[in-house]
Amino acid sequence: MNDRAALDLLLAHGPLSRSRIGRLTGLSKPTASQLLARLEAAGLVVVTGTSAGRPGPNAQLYAVNPEAAHVAGLDVTARGIRAAVADVTGRTVGTYALPTPGRRGSGETGPSTCDLVVRAVEGAVKAAGLHRSRLHRIVVGTPGAFDPNTGRLRYASHLPGWHSPTLLEELAAALPMPLEYDNDVNLVAVAEQRLGAARGDAGDPRDFVLLWNEEGIGAALVIDGRLHRGWTGGAGELGFLPVPGTPLVRDAARTGSGGFQELAGAGAVLRLAGELGLVYDRGVPAHHAAAELLRRAAAVAGTEEEAEGDGAASRTGGPDGATTPAGPEPDAHTADGSGPGSRSASGSGPGRRGTQADAFAVPGPAEAAALLHRFATGTAVGLAALVAVLDPALIVLSGGVLTAGGEPLRARIRAELAELAVPRPRLVPGALTAHPVLSGALESALITTRDEVFDTAR
């Protein structure tokens, strides 16, 4: 237990001296010295330098050995696979992005899904300057979920090549190391729980919901600090939820959609824009167009509200502690020099005047307010059902469509939810906007790998 406590302190604080570790763990100096000698002999810590600027001799500084273990994470979409490798400290040391083909016509051939996954892993490993044998674990994030009872991917009919009954066996044979799969939105929740808006130091939210809206709507359900996946792995497939205001969608497994998706998905934003006479680029993916419409509407609404002195429109934080998310990371290495398409919404910046080139027009104040309000109402309808069942302490809004609306959208969703639900959970934007699925895959892999590698009693 002392060994693991010291390693966790080094991960949290960075390089520490022997005396500092002793004070933080409550160990005597001789015991702390023995502990560090044991960890150094096991290859888990290294001396990184010496302290300076204090009276007396300089003390050696110890840190977790980043070479003790490496993990890989994959983010799979219909457009491509993004892979990354991290060392045991959590530092990303290699990335790679591989565009993938869409659905093939009859008679068309090409690399198999297994081949594409292996290529993505190899690309990230090469970028890290490692060999694949150095990986301790790989975690793959996909839309939908692999049914633990059948091993088949469900809830993701739009993902070509991932529905073969032998796929997991093929991948296990091609990548002979621990290989795990999880729903992409669940992995975003892992990232937010460990690194972002749902961290324990942000109010200890043991029960929280992460609502994701991008190419589709989904949710991650964290109950008593643990992800709830359900019997078939499909807990949180919220787009299929029947809701008031939309026709019942029957045979949802075949159609791949449901009531809440129709009410509050990217397609709903485009329908609302059409009703309001807002021009948008019909040549880009629906979720990118929806995000750009909401971004421009939020810019207009925010300007109007700031002019009126409305504090709710502040961009530096709202009544629930919302803050502006961090900017995106640099792009990954790619197979052809360009990425397969980020999950984060892209497009013109807020407030840009629409041109013939980008085919988006800046909405007027009335249209901007109407778009945000109607979309917020639809979103709050689905959230109200979740709140009634789960009573979470916190709701994290994530995905390009939701985050594009910024504080003006968040404030409206909060106001609508307050009228539709009895509990009043905090409502905050996700803190991780650059490749959050990939961040969650790496964090998930690190959790288990550290438990294994840091166990000096084995």
- Cβ-count burial 171-209 (b if 16+ within 10 Å, e if not): beeebeebbebbbbbbbbbbbbbbbbbbeeebeebebbb
| pLDDT tens digit sequence for 252-279 | 777 777 899 999 999 999 999 999 999 9
Judge whether 36 and 44 are in contact, CB under 8 Å.
no
| Between residues 78 and 66, the one the model is more confident about | 66
User: What confidence score (pLDDT) does residue 308 get?
Assistant: 66
User: What confidence score (pLDDT) does residue 164 get?
Assistant: 85
Q: Is the pLDDT of residue 248 over 60?
A: yes
| pLDDT tens digit sequence for 159-175 | 778 888 889 999 999 99
Q: Is the pLDDT of residue 334 over 70?
A: no
Q: Is the pLDDT of residue 357 over 80?
A: no
| Between residues 399 and 457, the one the model is more confident about | 399
Average pLDDT estimate for 359-369 = 87
Average pLDDT estimate for 368-384 = 96
User: What confidence score (pLDDT) does residue 277 get?
Assistant: 93
The span from the CA of 302 to the CA of 310, in Å, is 9
| Cβ-proximal residues to 454 (8 Å cutoff; 6+ apart), any chain | 3, 4, 7, 44
| pLDDT tens digit sequence for 279-329 | 999 989 999 999 999 999 999 987 766 666 644 444 444 445 444 333 334
Secondary structure letter of residue 238 according to DSSP? G
User: What confidence score (pLDDT) does residue 78 get?
Assistant: 86
| pLDDT tens digit sequence for 121-156 | 999 999 999 999 999 999 999 988 888 877 778 777
Q: Is the pLDDT of residue 393 over 90?
A: yes
| CA 304-306-308 angle, 5° bins | 75
Q: Is the pLDDT of residue 95 over 60?
A: yes
| Between residues 331 and 379, the one the model is more confident about | 379
| pLDDT tens digit sequence for 217-244 | 999 999 999 999 998 888 998 998 999 8
Q: Is the pLDDT of residue 352 over 70?
A: no
